[in-house]
Structure formats: C-alpha cells, structure tokens
Amino acid sequence: MSETKFEPKIIAFLCNWCTYAGADLAGTGRKEYQANVRIIKLPCTGGIDPLFLIKAFERGADGILVSGCHPGDCHYNSGNYHARRRWNVFRPLLEFCGINPDRIQFSWISAAEGGKWVETINGIVDAVRELGPFESYQKLNTIGPEVSVSGGATAASSETG
C-alpha cells in the first residue's frame, strides 16, 4: 500500500430513470470525473435490498453510493420513498456495527443533473480515499476465499498485503 497509491473502489447502485440518465448526461456532456466508480443499474432504488450493499462490501468495495430519483419524481411513484425508509434504519445499524457511514452514501440525482453526478462521485471518492481501504471488512476471515468471495477479496488482499 505504501508504494502504490490507494484508489478506492466505489460501487454505485443507480436507478434506471433518474441517476443513471444523469450519469449518462455527464458523459454526453463530456464532463470529467474520477474513474473509481462501478455502476450497477437497477429499475428503482425501491428494489435495492440492503443485502446488495453487504455483498458489495464482501466483494471488496471500499465505498457505496445509492442514488435515485428525487422525492416525488419516482417513475413508480413511491419506490424512492420506501427506499428512504429502509436506509433510515439500515444506515444506523451499520454504524452501530462499526462501519463508517461515509462509506455508504445516498443521493437524489435527476436525469438533468449531470453536474451533480460529477460532484457526488468526486465527493465520495475523495471521502473514501481519505478513509483508506476498507481493510477491516476485507480482512475478515473466510474459509476458502476463492469459493465464497471471488476477484474482489483476493485483489484487495494483494493490494493491502
């Protein structure tokens, strides 16, 4: 770690209708942002099970972004409201277990907000870079890491080791 600079791995769970289109707009607008983010497109933030987030950490994510439509703008009317309730309890639970809440961020970005997407991504990448790799999670003991956690963990352990 001391030789190569740490580059955080950020997984972004985006809703198809707003934030994904917003990220697309940033692209067509030729806006530049840090390339640490891996996007996973889903129909709606309301369909994001907290297990997705846990799995992302298991597979070596250093930070996670969940982003969807602004309240009132949901393509399915209320998906983002339900999601908001979920994160309202899930976030404190992770914090209670000792996971820094800065590693899991939430935002509302509409299809017109390419600029906000760039800011948000740069923000989370900088924040997580400051925090460093999520070693405490990645170092959790597993039996047969090749079977239970593929690429992510091995890459992470070679980085950190």
Partner 1 sequence: MIEELRKKAEELLKNDTVKVVFGYGEGSVPERTRPVFITKPEDVNKLTWNKYCVYNLTTYLKRQETRKLGKPALILKGCDARTIIVLLKECQIKREDVYIIGVTCDGVGDPLAEKCKACDVHTPLIYDDLVGEKRENKEVPFEERYAELDEYEKLGEKEKWEFWQKQFEKCIKCYACSNICPLCFCDRCIVEKNQPQWIDPSAHARGNLSWNVTRAYHLAGRCINCEECQRVCPVDIPLNLLNKKLAKEAERSFNYRPGYNIDDELAMSTYKEDDEQEFFK
Q: Return residues touching partner 1 (CB under 8 A).
A: 50-51, 54-55, 58, 71-72, 78, 81-82, 84-101, 105-108, 120, 123, 136-137, 140-144, 148-149
Shortest Å distance, C-beta 144 to partner 1:
8
Of the pair 33, 90, the CB lying nearest partner 1 is at 90
Q: Which is nearer to partner 1, 3 or 61 (CB)?
A: 61
Least distance to partner 1, CB of residue 92, Å? 5
Closer to partner 1 by CB, 5 or 57: give it.
57
Residue 25 vs 94, nearer CB to partner 1: 94
Provide the token pair at 53: 């987030």
Contact between 8 and 128 under an 8 Å Cβ cutoff? The reply is yes
Burial 94-122 (b: 16+ CB within 10 A, else e): beeeebeeebbbbbbbbbebbebbbbbbe
- Backbone dihedral region for residue 30 (phi beyond 0: left; psi -120 to 50: alpha; all else: beta): left
Bridge partners of residue 13, in order along the sequence: 40, 66
Q: Supply the minimum distance, in Å, between the C-beta of residue 3 and partner 1.
A: 26
